Amino acid sequence: MTPRPHSAGEVTIRPVTLDTVREQVAETSRRLALEGLVLGTAGNVSARHGDEVAITPTGAVLAELEAEQVSVVDLEGRQVGGELAPTSEIDLHLGVYRRYDAGAVVHTHAPVATALSCVLEDELPCVHYQMLLLGGTVPVARYATFGTPELATSVLDALEGSSAALMANHGAIVHAKDLGGALELSLLLEWACTVYWRAAAIGEPRVLADEEREAVVAAALSRNYGTTHPVGDDR
Protein backbone atom coordinates (compact mmCIF):
# COMPACT_ATOMS: atom_id res chain seq x y z
CA MET A 1 0.00 0.00 0.00
CA THR A 2 1.37 3.40 -0.96
CA PRO A 3 1.55 5.76 2.02
CA ARG A 4 -0.77 8.70 1.62
CA PRO A 5 0.89 12.13 1.56
CA HIS A 6 0.46 14.42 4.53
CA SER A 7 -2.16 17.10 4.03
CA ALA A 8 -1.39 20.74 4.74
CA GLY A 9 -1.30 21.50 8.45
CA GLU A 10 -1.22 17.83 9.45
CA VAL A 11 1.06 17.11 12.40
CA THR A 12 3.46 14.18 12.17
CA ILE A 13 3.73 12.36 15.50
CA ARG A 14 7.24 11.02 15.98
CA PRO A 15 7.88 8.16 18.39
CA VAL A 16 9.73 9.01 21.59
CA THR A 17 13.18 7.46 21.50
CA LEU A 18 15.80 7.02 24.19
CA ASP A 19 17.83 9.77 22.52
CA THR A 20 14.82 12.06 22.80
CA VAL A 21 14.52 11.28 26.51
CA ARG A 22 18.23 12.02 27.03
CA GLU A 23 17.68 15.38 25.36
CA GLN A 24 14.74 16.04 27.68
CA VAL A 25 16.83 15.21 30.75
CA ALA A 26 19.54 17.62 29.64
CA GLU A 27 17.02 20.34 28.79
CA THR A 28 15.22 19.95 32.12
CA SER A 29 18.54 20.14 33.98
CA ARG A 30 19.40 23.40 32.26
CA ARG A 31 15.94 24.81 32.99
CA LEU A 32 16.22 23.93 36.68
CA ALA A 33 19.55 25.76 36.81
CA LEU A 34 18.03 28.75 35.04
CA GLU A 35 15.21 28.83 37.61
CA GLY A 36 17.74 28.68 40.48
CA LEU A 37 16.56 25.29 41.75
CA VAL A 38 19.94 23.64 41.27
CA LEU A 39 23.44 25.03 41.56
CA GLY A 40 26.59 23.61 40.02
CA THR A 41 26.59 19.83 40.28
CA ALA A 42 23.98 19.66 43.07
CA GLY A 43 20.74 17.91 42.15
CA ASN A 44 19.82 15.24 39.61
CA VAL A 45 17.20 14.44 37.00
CA SER A 46 15.99 11.23 35.37
CA ALA A 47 13.28 9.93 33.06
CA ARG A 48 12.18 6.40 32.28
CA HIS A 49 11.95 4.96 28.78
CA GLY A 50 10.60 1.44 28.94
CA ASP A 51 13.03 -0.63 31.00
CA GLU A 52 15.78 1.98 30.79
CA VAL A 53 16.37 5.24 32.64
CA ALA A 54 18.15 8.32 31.31
CA ILE A 55 19.79 10.03 34.27
CA THR A 56 22.17 12.89 34.94
CA PRO A 57 25.80 11.85 35.42
CA THR A 58 27.79 12.35 38.57
CA GLY A 59 29.83 15.54 38.71
CA ALA A 60 28.06 17.21 35.78
CA VAL A 61 27.30 20.93 35.87
CA LEU A 62 23.55 20.86 35.27
CA ALA A 63 23.43 24.33 33.72
CA GLU A 64 25.71 23.09 30.93
CA LEU A 65 24.49 19.51 30.51
CA GLU A 66 24.16 18.13 26.98
CA ALA A 67 22.24 15.05 25.85
CA GLU A 68 25.33 13.01 25.00
CA GLN A 69 26.54 13.39 28.60
CA VAL A 70 23.37 11.84 30.06
CA SER A 71 23.89 8.31 31.39
CA VAL A 72 21.54 5.40 30.70
CA VAL A 73 20.92 2.56 33.16
CA ASP A 74 18.52 -0.35 33.36
CA LEU A 75 16.10 -0.74 36.26
CA GLU A 76 18.70 -2.79 38.15
CA GLY A 77 21.22 0.05 37.95
CA ARG A 78 23.52 -1.44 35.31
CA GLN A 79 24.88 1.22 32.97
CA VAL A 80 23.86 0.51 29.37
CA GLY A 81 24.57 3.86 27.72
CA GLY A 82 26.62 7.02 27.98
CA GLU A 83 30.29 7.39 28.85
CA LEU A 84 29.86 9.08 32.24
CA ALA A 85 28.87 7.31 35.45
CA PRO A 86 25.34 8.03 36.71
CA THR A 87 24.61 10.22 39.72
CA SER A 88 25.37 8.86 43.18
CA GLU A 89 21.64 9.15 43.93
CA ILE A 90 20.83 6.40 41.42
CA ASP A 91 19.31 4.12 44.09
CA LEU A 92 16.88 6.86 45.03
CA HIS A 93 15.72 7.38 41.44
CA LEU A 94 15.40 3.68 40.65
CA GLY A 95 13.54 3.12 43.90
CA VAL A 96 10.93 5.69 42.91
CA TYR A 97 10.45 3.99 39.53
CA ARG A 98 10.07 0.55 41.06
CA ARG A 99 7.80 1.57 43.93
CA TYR A 100 5.65 4.30 42.43
CA ASP A 101 5.69 3.51 38.68
CA ALA A 102 6.82 7.06 37.93
CA GLY A 103 7.94 8.35 34.57
CA ALA A 104 10.36 11.03 35.80
CA VAL A 105 12.16 12.10 38.98
CA VAL A 106 13.67 15.48 39.84
CA HIS A 107 15.81 16.12 42.92
CA THR A 108 16.83 19.71 43.62
CA HIS A 109 18.62 21.81 46.19
CA ALA A 110 16.10 24.63 45.71
CA PRO A 111 17.01 27.34 48.24
CA VAL A 112 13.73 27.86 50.10
CA ALA A 113 12.77 24.18 50.06
CA THR A 114 16.23 23.32 51.37
CA ALA A 115 16.02 26.00 54.06
CA LEU A 116 12.67 24.63 55.27
CA SER A 117 14.08 21.09 55.20
CA CYS A 118 16.55 22.27 57.84
CA VAL A 119 13.75 23.55 60.09
CA LEU A 120 10.57 21.54 59.64
CA GLU A 121 10.42 18.31 61.62
CA ASP A 122 7.73 16.25 59.93
CA GLU A 123 5.94 18.08 57.14
CA LEU A 124 5.27 21.23 55.16
CA PRO A 125 1.61 21.99 55.96
CA CYS A 126 -0.93 22.44 53.18
CA VAL A 127 -1.47 26.21 53.31
CA HIS A 128 -2.63 26.75 49.70
CA TYR A 129 -4.97 24.73 47.53
CA GLN A 130 -2.42 24.42 44.71
CA MET A 131 -0.40 22.22 47.04
CA LEU A 132 -2.98 19.51 46.40
CA LEU A 133 -1.09 18.94 43.15
CA LEU A 134 1.79 17.81 45.34
CA GLY A 135 -0.47 15.58 47.41
CA GLY A 136 -1.40 18.29 49.93
CA THR A 137 0.85 18.18 52.96
CA VAL A 138 4.47 17.60 51.91
CA PRO A 139 6.35 15.14 54.16
CA VAL A 140 9.93 15.61 55.35
CA ALA A 141 12.13 12.53 54.92
CA ARG A 142 14.49 11.91 57.82
CA TYR A 143 18.13 12.78 57.26
CA ALA A 144 20.67 10.32 55.88
CA THR A 145 23.97 10.78 54.01
CA PHE A 146 23.60 11.52 50.31
CA GLY A 147 23.94 8.60 47.91
CA THR A 148 23.29 5.96 50.58
CA PRO A 149 20.67 3.19 50.69
CA GLU A 150 19.49 4.70 53.98
CA LEU A 151 18.62 7.97 52.24
CA ALA A 152 16.79 6.14 49.44
CA THR A 153 14.73 4.17 51.99
CA SER A 154 13.90 7.29 54.00
CA VAL A 155 12.75 9.25 50.96
CA LEU A 156 10.78 6.39 49.42
CA ASP A 157 8.87 5.93 52.67
CA ALA A 158 8.17 9.66 52.88
CA LEU A 159 6.78 9.73 49.34
CA GLU A 160 4.00 7.28 50.22
CA GLY A 161 0.80 9.04 49.12
CA SER A 162 2.66 12.12 47.89
CA SER A 163 4.35 13.22 44.68
CA ALA A 164 6.80 15.43 46.57
CA ALA A 165 8.93 15.40 49.70
CA LEU A 166 11.48 17.53 51.45
CA MET A 167 14.73 15.77 52.36
CA ALA A 168 15.89 16.86 55.81
CA ASN A 169 18.94 19.16 55.68
CA HIS A 170 19.36 18.29 52.01
CA GLY A 171 16.79 19.40 49.44
CA ALA A 172 13.60 18.31 47.70
CA ILE A 173 12.33 15.60 45.38
CA VAL A 174 9.29 15.16 43.13
CA HIS A 175 8.09 12.50 40.73
CA ALA A 176 5.55 12.60 37.92
CA LYS A 177 4.46 10.72 34.81
CA ASP A 178 6.87 12.71 32.63
CA LEU A 179 9.63 15.30 32.86
CA GLY A 180 7.34 18.19 32.00
CA GLY A 181 5.14 17.32 34.95
CA ALA A 182 8.12 16.80 37.27
CA LEU A 183 9.54 20.20 36.32
CA GLU A 184 6.22 21.89 37.04
CA LEU A 185 5.95 20.15 40.41
CA SER A 186 9.50 21.23 41.31
CA LEU A 187 8.63 24.84 40.54
CA LEU A 188 5.35 24.54 42.45
CA LEU A 189 7.07 23.04 45.49
CA GLU A 190 9.57 25.88 45.68
CA TRP A 191 6.73 28.40 45.31
CA ALA A 192 4.75 26.69 48.08
CA CYS A 193 7.81 26.70 50.34
CA THR A 194 8.29 30.40 49.66
CA VAL A 195 4.64 31.16 50.48
CA TYR A 196 4.88 29.23 53.75
CA TRP A 197 8.17 30.90 54.71
CA ARG A 198 6.79 34.40 54.08
CA ALA A 199 3.54 33.65 55.89
CA ALA A 200 5.43 32.21 58.88
CA ALA A 201 7.49 35.40 59.08
CA ILE A 202 4.24 37.32 59.62
CA GLY A 203 2.42 34.93 61.91
CA GLU A 204 1.16 31.38 62.26
CA PRO A 205 0.15 30.15 58.77
CA ARG A 206 -3.43 28.89 58.57
CA VAL A 207 -3.55 25.29 57.35
CA LEU A 208 -6.36 24.13 55.06
CA ALA A 209 -8.62 21.66 56.83
CA ASP A 210 -9.58 18.34 55.25
CA GLU A 211 -13.05 19.56 54.32
CA GLU A 212 -11.59 22.65 52.67
CA ARG A 213 -9.26 20.51 50.57
CA GLU A 214 -12.11 18.22 49.61
CA ALA A 215 -14.19 21.20 48.54
CA VAL A 216 -11.39 22.37 46.24
CA VAL A 217 -11.18 18.96 44.59
CA ALA A 218 -14.96 18.83 44.15
CA ALA A 219 -15.01 22.33 42.66
CA ALA A 220 -12.20 21.45 40.26
CA LEU A 221 -13.92 18.27 39.10
CA SER A 222 -17.22 20.08 38.59
CA ARG A 223 -15.49 22.55 36.29
CA ASN A 224 -13.84 19.78 34.26
CA TYR A 225 -10.32 21.04 34.83
CA GLY A 226 -9.07 17.55 34.04
CA THR A 227 -6.66 15.29 35.86
CA THR A 228 -3.35 16.98 35.05
CA HIS A 229 -3.98 20.28 36.88
CA PRO A 230 -7.23 19.73 38.80
CA VAL A 231 -6.68 22.50 41.33
CA GLY A 232 -4.31 24.89 39.63
CA ASP A 233 -6.82 27.45 38.39
CA ASP A 234 -9.62 29.41 40.02
CA ARG A 235 -11.29 30.62 36.86
Give me the catalytic one of 66, 89, 160, 211: 89
Angle at 37 (CA atoms; ends 159, 84), nearest 5 degrees = 85
Phi then psi for residue 219, to 5 deg, are: -65, -40
Helix axes 149-158, 90-100, angle to 10 degrees: 40
N-to-C CA span, the chain: 49
Residue 89: active-site member: yes
Beta carbons of 139 and 159 less than 8 angstroms apart: yes
Q: CA-to-CA distance for 120 and 139, rounded, in angstroms?
A: 9
Q: Residue 72: name the closest of 48, 89, 55 by CA.
A: 55
- Strands, E assignment, the chain: 44-49, 52-55, 71-74, 79-81, 104-108, 123-124, 138-141, 164-167, 171-176
Catalytic residues: 89
